[in-house]
Amino acid sequence: MSAPLIIEPATTADSCVIWLHGLGADRYDFLPVAEALQQRLLRTRFVLPQAPTQAVTINGGWAMPSWYDILAMSPARAINQAQLEQSAQAVITLIEAQRDHGIDPRRIFLAGFSQGGAVVYHTAFLRWAGPLGGVLALSTYAPTFGADLKLSLSQASLPVLCLHGSQDNVVLPSMGRVAYECLVQNKVAAEWKEYPMAHEVLPDEIRDIADWLAVRLD
C-alpha cells in the first residue's frame, strides 16, 4: 500500500482521524474535507490512506483503487474477504503507528466513505480489540455484520455517527440502516443522520461531523 497522505494541524497534534476513501477514488479525495475540519479541530491530525489498485469484478475486471474486490451486487454483495482482511490490517497498522507516536487511542477516530466505511466498520467492530475514539460511517454498509455479531465491552463502547444520502443509489440507504440497526441492537451509541443527497458529501454533513468530533475531542 502507498504511504498515506498526512495532514498535520497548525499546532501539535493530540488526536487523529484515519479516513478511508471510496472505491475508485484516492487518498486526495477527502483532503479538502480534512482541511475544512482542521479549521475547527485545531489539534487533530488527518491520515488519508491509499487503497491498492486491483481488479474489481463488478466493474468489468478493470483495475482501480479498491479496498477489496466486489464479486457480485446481489442478492447481497459478495466480496473478496481476504482483501478486506488485508485492508483492515493496514488500518490497524496506522492506528498502532499513531499510538506509538504518542496519540492516545481514545483520541483516534476511524472514518470511511462507501467501501472505505465498510473497512472501517470491519476493523473497529471485528478486528481491533483496543480503545478508539469512535467511528464515522459515511454512505456505507457493513458486509461482515450479521445476526451473530458479538462485541467486546471496548467495541460496544465506541460512539458511531452514521451519515447517508436519502437519494443514494450506489449504497442504498437501507443498506446503511441495516448496519446502524445492528449496532443499536448491540447497545452501541450509534446515531443516524440522513441528508437530501446522492452518493456524495455535503457541507451540512461536514458541519455535523465537525460538531460530533469537537464534542468528543474537547
Q: So which residues are the catalytic ones?
A: 114, 168, 199
> Running DSSP on this structure, what letter comes out for residue 30?
T
Closest to 111 measured CA to CA, from 2, 22, 6, 217: 22
Question: Which three cell numbers mark 178?
Answer: 441495516
User: How do 160-165 and 134-138 pair as beta strands?
Assistant: parallel
Helices (H), the chain: 31-38, 81-100, 115-122, 153-156, 173-185, 203-217
What would the grid cell of residue 113 be? 466513505
User: DSSP labels for 157-183?
Assistant: T--EEEEEETT-SSS-HHHHHHHHHHH
Gap between the Cα atoms of 19 and 67, Å rounded:
13
Using DSSP, state whether 43 is helix, strand or coil.
coil
Q: Which amino acid is at 135?
A: V
